[in-house]
Every structure is written in C-alpha cells, then in structure tokens.
C-alpha cells in the first residue's frame, strides 16, 4: 500500500495547517542565484555561453548548432504517424476555438462630459515559447503556448526546446511546429535558453515575452530576466487536489491522483475526503493502478514524498481547505459537483464530475494547461489569449472637460507639492483664452 501522509482537518492545529498549505512556485535561493548568473553570462557572451551550458547540462543538438533547420522540422512531420498528426490537429482546433473567445475587446468610457478614456489592446510583436524536453516530450505544451499566441495575432513566435540525449528535439514537438507553421526553433533548454530569449544572441533574436512551463532552473531564470522581458508566471512542480465524498468511484479518484503524480517526483498531489473509509478505498485503488504504469517509480515517489490525504469533517470544510490550498488542478468528484465547483475560487483549472479527467484538459478540451502553481492560483489564472498582448490607455479631453477637472487637479497637486502639475493645466487656459476660441 502507498504510504501517504494523512491529516485530520478537524484536529490539526493552526501552525500545522499553515505548514501544509504554505508553499511557493519560486525555487530555492541557490537555484535562483545560479540561474541569474547563467542568464547574465548569456547576455554577455551570447551563443558561446548558450552552447557551453548546453554541453555542460544537456539539451543541445548533437551538432552543437542552436538553430533547428526548416528541413529538420519538415522531415519530422513527414515521418510522423497519421495518428499523432490527427491528434495534434484535433488539439490545435479545439485550442483555437477556446482561445478565440478570449481575445480582448477595446472599450471607451466618458466618465464626465468632455473626458474620454479608451482602453485598447494590441498583440505583442514577438514571443518566445519554452517547451520542456530532454528526458520527456511535451508537444502539448508547445500547442498551449503557440496557438493562443497565433490567435492573439503575435507577429513572430520563437520556440526553445532542449534536445534529448540522442541530440535531437522530440519529433512530436517538431511535427507540431510544422502544423502551426512555426519555423523558428532552437535546440536549447534550461536557464541558458531563457537568457537567450530574453537578451538575444547572435543566433536567437530577443523576444518581448517568454511563456511556457519548465523545471526549477527555467522558473528561476524567468524570474531573473523579468523586467528585461515579460513572463507568463513562475510555475513550480505540477500539483492537484482530488476532492471527493462517499459517492465517489474510488477507481476514478485514484486515476486522477496518479495522473498528476506522473508528471514528476516533485509533483504535489492530495486527496481531500470526508471520511477515512473513502480515503482508504481511493488509496488502495491508487496503489493497485500504480503497479503496471511505466512511471510507477516517479508516481510512488511523488505521492509518498509530497502527497497527502486530508480528512475534512464536512463538505464546507473540504471546500474551504481546497480554496486555502489553491491548487493548480482540482478534480471535483462529489454529489452536486457543479455546486461544489462553483464554490472553488482559488484553483488554476477545475474538473467537474466523473467524466472530466484532468488529462482531458492537458491535451484535448482546448482549455490551457499552463496554470499557476505554488499557491499562485489565488492571484493568477491560466495562460490565455490576453497574455499575448498589452493594453494602453488613450485619454482625450475637451476644453470644457479640463475645466471640470481643473479644481480636482489643482487641489491634489497642491497637496502633494507638485506645482508643475497644476501649472500644466493653468497654462492652457492662460495661453488660449475662451474669447480666442469663439
């Protein structure tokens, strides 16, 4: 039987509860410091630094070149199985449909007569999409970054992905690039890839914003370059809560637990149940399911090292704890699952009912799977179309409008000691008396 920590929310003391719910997507200080040094070195030495770090840490192409040729991208597509191509095409189509509804709409308001404030959105010129690779392949993560960027109207999309041990980027990732018409692909990963995208090198032009998930080094590097370039959000290890009551099918709840634990040994996966009998049944099913899976060792380590079972005295307490924890994924497998889901206010993505597995959201529903972790679901949402553009305010006043605002401007400017602020209003009326305008 899997050996997973268990806590009783009815008896746990406040300090233990804080320890259970407090975490961060930000890597430890040592990783942050080293990643910052790597990105600075890339800024100063360009390609040479990227290639050096690729050789030291892995992720570079066998040839040592950073640029993946268009012919290699096309060749991967030609050699891909029809099944993979069909699956990618289906995922692309649904992601486009979902994200097309997210494109922002310009708005204009006139708060008082003679004052017009517009809010206008425009796509970014150039975006870098980081795709995890090396030991695993994630073409789905490429789709989640690149398709919304295309929907937004981003002019240029650059993809950075580490090569595997054999020296090539996963063919599935390259096939997805071909299907999306993306020809700018670089074989590099880790902090050096983030530094290259942020600052630019001889081979890799800088971007306006970097999006996409990655491990601790990628997250630390994104934080290091933030300010020089935009980022989506710092994202830590995958995490999930499966919220159940005694109506749950233990096999389904167990499958949802195991599904997210499969991402990595540092994944944080929790079961929130209303009684020990239900929790025991789910745990037994998870133990049995894990035996036959390819990544059984990873799943076991994740669940036993970072996972936990929380027993709540009632559904309201279970919802409250789930909101307090603020998970990346929350699966709701309870009676009145829609009502329970509606009460969840701090979660990256909520999966409602037994027919909504988390893997559907990872691959096929069109919802984005780049989600906040480490408790950031309290203040961030999923990657979306609007993240690939920027807003600007456009303000226009008439003379009458400025006259109406002049007392407010003058009083506040005087209070703050900013006399030039008041003067830039007064001078307009002094230089253009009303009689000159008649």
The pLDDT of residue 437: 54
181 conformational bin, left if phi > 0, alpha if psi -120 to 50, beta if neither: left
Lowest mean pLDDT among 123-127, 162-166, 361-365, 422-426: 162-166
CA distance 345 to 93: 29
Q: Give 197-212 pLDDT, tens digit per residue.
A: 999 999 999 999 999 9
Catalytic residue, from 328, 386, 396, 415: name it. 328
On average, the pLDDT of the chain sits at 95
The pLDDT of residue 111: 97
pLDDT of 402 > 90? The answer is yes
Arithmetic mean of pLDDT, 84-93:
98
Arithmetic mean of pLDDT, 357-361:
96
408 conformational bin, left if phi > 0, alpha if psi -120 to 50, beta if neither: alpha
Arithmetic mean of pLDDT, 331-338:
98
Q: Is residue 415 among the annotated active site residues? A: no
Give pTM, 2 decimals: 0.94
Arithmetic mean of pLDDT, 164-180:
94
Structure tokens at 380: 């961030």
The pLDDT of residue 26: 86
Q: Give 31-78 pLDDT, tens digit per residue.
A: 999 999 999 999 999 999 999 999 999 898 888 899 999 999 999 999
pLDDT of 438 > 60? The answer is no
Q: Give 207-230 pLDDT, tens digit per residue.
A: 999 999 998 999 999 999 999 999
Q: Give the CATH number of domain 29-232+386-390; options: 4.10.490.10, 2.40.50.140, 1.20.1090.10, 3.40.50.1980.
A: 3.40.50.1980
Cβ-Cβ contacts under 8 Å for 305 (sequence gap 6 or more): 265, 266
Q: Is residue 328 among the annotated active site residues? A: yes
* Distance (Å) of CA 284 to CA 215, 301, 437: 30, 16, 84
Structure tokens at 203: 């081979």
The pLDDT of residue 435: 60
5-25+236-365 adopts what CATH topology? Rossmann fold (3.40.50)
The pLDDT of residue 208: 98
Q: Where in the chain is the domain with CATH 3.40.50.1980?
A: 5-25+236-365, 29-232+386-390
Catalytic residue, from 99, 178, 263, 329: name it. 329
Cβ-Cβ contacts under 8 Å for 391 (sequence gap 6 or more): 104, 119, 120, 121
DSSP 357-424: -HHHHHHTSS-------TTGGGT-----GGGGEEEEEEEEE-HHHHHHHHHHHHHHHHHTT-HHHHHH
Lowest mean pLDDT among 57-61, 157-161, 242-246: 57-61
Arithmetic mean of pLDDT, 376-386:
95
Arithmetic mean of pLDDT, 251-262:
96
């Amino acid at each position: 039987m899997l050996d997973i920590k268990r806590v009783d929310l009815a008896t746990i003391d406040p300090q233990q509860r804080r320890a259970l719910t407090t975490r961060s997507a930000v890597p430890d200080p040592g990783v942050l410091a080293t990643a910052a040094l790597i990105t600075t070195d890339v800024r100063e030495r360009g390609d040479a630094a990227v290639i050096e770090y690729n050789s030291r840490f892995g992720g570079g192409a066998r040839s040592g070149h950073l640029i993946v040729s268009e012919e290699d991208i096309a060749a991967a597509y030609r050699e891909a199985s029809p099944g993979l191509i069909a699956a990618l095409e289906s995922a692309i189509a649904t992601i486009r449909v979902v994200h097309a509804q997210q494109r922002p709409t310009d708005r204009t308001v006139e708060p008082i007569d003679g004052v017009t404030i517009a809010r206008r959105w425009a796509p970014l010129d150039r975006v870098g999409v980081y795709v995890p690779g090396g030991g695993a392949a994630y073409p789905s993560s490429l789709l989640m970054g690149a398709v919304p960027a295309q929907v937004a109207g981003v002019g240029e999309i650059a993809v950075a992905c580490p090569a595997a041990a054999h020296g090539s980027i996963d063919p599935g990732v390259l096939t997805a690039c071909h299907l999306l018409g993306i020809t700018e692909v670089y074989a590099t990963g880790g902090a050096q890839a983030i530094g290259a995208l942020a600052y630019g090198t001889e081979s890799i032009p800088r971007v306006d914003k970097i999006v996409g998930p990655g491990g601790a080094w990628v997250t630390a590097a994104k934080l290091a370059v933030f300010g020089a370039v935009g980022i989506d959000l710092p994202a830590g290890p995958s995490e999930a809560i499966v919220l159940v009551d005694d109506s749950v099918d233990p096999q389904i709840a167990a499958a949802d637990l195991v599904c997210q634990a499969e991402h990595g040994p540092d994944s944080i996966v929790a079961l929130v149940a209303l009684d020990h009998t239900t929790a025991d049944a789910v745990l037994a099913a998870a133990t049995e399911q894990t035996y036959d899976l390819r990544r059984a060792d990873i799943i076991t380590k994740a669940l036993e090292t970072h996972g936990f079972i929380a027993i709540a005295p009632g559904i309201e307490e279970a919802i409250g704890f789930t909101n307090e924890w603020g998970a990346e994924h929350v699966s709701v497998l309870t009676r009145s699952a829609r009502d329970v889901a509606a009460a969840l206010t701090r979660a990256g993505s909520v999966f409602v009912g037994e027919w909504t597995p988390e893997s559907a959201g990872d691959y096929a529903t069109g919802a984005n799977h780049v989600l906040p972790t480490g408790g950031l679901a309290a203040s961030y949402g999923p990657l979306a179309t609007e993240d690939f553009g920027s807003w600007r305010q456009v303000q226009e006043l008439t003379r009458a409008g400025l006259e109406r605002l002049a007392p407010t401007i003058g009083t506040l400017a005087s209070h703050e000691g900013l006399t030039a602020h008041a003067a830039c209003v007064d001078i307009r009326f002094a230089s253009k008396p009303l009689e000159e305008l008649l």
